[in-house]
Amino acid sequence: MARYTGPKHKLARREGVNLLEKTSASLTRRLNVPPGVHGKKGKRRPSEYGVQLREKQKAKVMYGLLEKQFRKIVDLASVQQGDTEELLLSLLERRLDNVVYRLGLAKSRMMSRQFVSHGHVSVNGKRMSIPSYTVKVGDVIALDETIQKNPDVITVMEEKKETMGFLEQKGPAGKLVRLPIAEDIQVPFSTRQIIEYYSR
């Protein structure tokens, strides 16, 4: 699966908000300074379109998606019955790579995506190597025994990150107990602006 492999700090500085799983002192100091030689001098007041574009970019960076992948999710949310904003957030959160990360089984979405792509994750006892797989309510997600011995996995599991309300985690496995809603997740972007961007 294609993914962005460039400098992550530059993306975070462009959006003016930390979109990364880890925070460094250098990023914190320069978060309000856009990338490029002109820094703040080159920053203009954005148009409505510009605001919508930036919100879309924030979401893409946070979930590590390219435009084609992200557009597919937006289109799917738009044709399903229900609140399009809630559906968009639910579909993003229920990507398998994101669920593995939210369960605290990987220290970053990039790491969780690698686990899935390399066949180290199972869904309901069956190996699943598609990061974009949409996890359903009741699905049980687990790491295989090989990757459980990975030092990074051992460390992140020992940290015992608080599990979100729509997930249930036990050891190297977890379960989606209900659909995620906006109140569950504090995201640094506006789903409304994103929907409006693609409705133009």
pLDDT at 138: 98
* Out of 33-42, 129-138, 173-182, 189-198, least confident range: 33-42
Collapsed DSSP state (helix, strand, coil) of residue 180:
coil
**What number of other Cβ atoms are within 10 A of residue 77's Cβ?**
23
95-178: CATH topology is 3.10.290
Using CA atoms, how far residue 126 sits from 136, 153, 167, in Å, is 14, 20, 19
What's the whole-model pTM score?
0.81
Q: Which residues pair with 173 in a beta bridge?
A: 142, 170
In the predicted model, what is the mean pLDDT of residues 93-106?
97
Q: Stretch 40-57: mean pLDDT, rounded?
A: 86
Average pLDDT (125-143) is: 98
Report the distance separating Cα 22 and Cα 141, nearest Å: 24
Are 118 and 80 in contact, with CB atoms under 8 Å apart? no
Confidence of residue 92 (pLDDT cuts 50, 70, 90): very high
Chain region(s) in the chain for CATH 3.10.290.10: 95-178
Q: Work out the end-to-end distance of the chain between its first and last CA atoms, rounded to an integer number of angstroms.
A: 28
Q: Which long-range contacts (CB under 8 A, 24 or more apart) does 114-120 make?
A: 115/143, 115/147, 117/1, 119/144, 120/144, 120/146, 120/147
User: Does the structural domain 8-91+186-198 have CATH classification 1.10.1050.10?
Assistant: yes
